[in-house]
């Protein structure tokens, strides 16, 4: 694994040293092969060393193999499966390994099952079998309320992928609970899909940015999206923020935001207070 100038964090009990900015490869915009080649290689050239994908993300896994498979030593792969039975999740992994052109994935995550689906499908047992076979290094789950509370209590997942941003704070305290139990924390939705007109974020959700007066907290020439990246980085228990983009300029902006570091404690505290005042509050 190449060293990077990007700041890193240890991903919980996995011990993996991941960059604080990861890359989400579930592209929402159409791209030709040249564009896909450019963005994936730009991601690695920037120093990002964690790529999140899923068998459900179209041909994302195949494109990773095609365009950066020769650079496999430079990044960790986190993929997902969402078939809720033992046989199905095992077959899903084998499909992912074939599509990615690799013998193992660093992280395999369940993609959104309920507690009942996880229990009835014997999914944790299946993941552990795959780990014993050397096809998976670490196991995780992409989840949210209400199921996340039970999954944390189980203490069987090495990784939690959790939605969180300044505009979606429902899991703020649960992030800390999972991290304190030793799990690695991957954040999704850290920039709320980007400001409408620039990204694909929800207009109503982003209206809360203005409603809370957060523009007053931006530094000169800082964009809202860049500030959002830094807000997510400011949470003391997040390890990496998975952000997807098809645009190398946006990628460079995200990298620059991570390099700039978290918001100051005063600004972070003020932002949380303003968000609380409009009921964009943390979980209790």
Tokens standing for residue 135: 């096809």
**11-20 pLDDT, tens digit each:** 999 999 999 9
Pairing assessment for the beta strands 17-19 and 8-10 based on DSSP bridges = antiparallel
* 273 exposure class (CB count in 10 Å sphere: 0-12, 13-18, 19+): exposed
- What pLDDT is recorded for position 202? 79
Query: Is the confidence at residue 100, as pLDDT, over 70?
Result: yes
**37-51 pLDDT, tens digit each:** 999 999 999 999 999
Report, as an integer, the average pLDDT of 268-277: 96
- What pLDDT is recorded for position 283? 62
Q: How many CA atoms lie within 13 A of 179 on its CB side?
A: 19
Listed by start position, the domains of the chain span 19-194+240-246
Residue 3 — very low, low, confident or very high, per pLDDT cuts 50/70/90? very low
* 177 exposure class (CB count in 10 Å sphere: 0-12, 13-18, 19+): middle
CA separation for the pair 115, 104 (Å, rounded): 26
Tokens standing for residue 221: 């020439």
**21-33 pLDDT, tens digit each:** 999 988 656 678 8
CA separation for the pair 64, 214 (Å, rounded): 37
Residue 87 — very low, low, confident or very high, per pLDDT cuts 50/70/90? very high
Range from 2-11, 106-115, 124-133, 134-143 carrying the lowest mean pLDDT: 2-11
Summary mean pLDDT of the chain? 92
* 12 exposure class (CB count in 10 Å sphere: 0-12, 13-18, 19+): buried
Provide DSSP, 138-187: EEEEE--TTHHHHHHHHT--SEEEEE-BTTB-TTHHHHHHHHHTT-EEEE
Helix axes 60-68, 86-100, angle to 10 degrees: 30
**Domain 19-194+240-246 part of CATH 3.90.850.10:** no
CA separation for the pair 98, 95 (Å, rounded): 5
């Amino acid at each position: 694994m190449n060293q990077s100038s990007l700041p890193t964090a240890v991903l919980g009990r996995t011990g993996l040293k991941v960059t604080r900015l990861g890359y989400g490869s579930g592209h929402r915009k159409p791209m030709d092969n040249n564009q896909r080649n450019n963005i994936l290689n730009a991601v690695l050239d920037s120093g990002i060393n964690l790529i999140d994908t899923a068998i459900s993300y179209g041909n994302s896994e195949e494109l990773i193999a095609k365009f950066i498979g020769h650079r496999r030593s430079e990044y960790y792969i986190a993929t997902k499966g969402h078939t809720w039975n033992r046989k199905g999740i095992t077959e899903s992994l084998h499909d992912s390994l074939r599509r990615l052109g690799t013998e193992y994935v660093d992280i395999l995550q369940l993609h959104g099952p309920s507690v009942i689906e996880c229990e009835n499908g014997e999914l944790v047992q299946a993941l552990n079998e795959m780990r014993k076979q050397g096809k998976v290094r670490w196991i995780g789950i992409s989840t949210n309320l209400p199921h996340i509370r039970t999954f944390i209590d189980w203490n069987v997942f090495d990784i939690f992928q959790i939605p969180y941003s300044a505009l979606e704070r429902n899991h703020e305290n649960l992030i800390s609970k999972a991290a304190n139990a030793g799990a690695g924390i991957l954040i999704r939705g850290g920039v709320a899909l980007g400001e409408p007109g620039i990204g694909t974020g929800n207009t109503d959700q982003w209206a809360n940015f203005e409603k809370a007066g957060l523009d007053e907290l931006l530094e000169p020439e800082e964009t809202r999206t860049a500030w959002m990246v830094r807000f997510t980085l400011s949470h003391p228990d997040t390890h990496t923020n998975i952000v997807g983009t098809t645009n190398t300029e946006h990628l460079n902006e995200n990298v620059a935001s991570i390099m700039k570091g978290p918001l100051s404690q005063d600004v972070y505290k003020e932002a949380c207070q303003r968000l609380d005042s409009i009921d964009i509050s943390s979980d209790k």
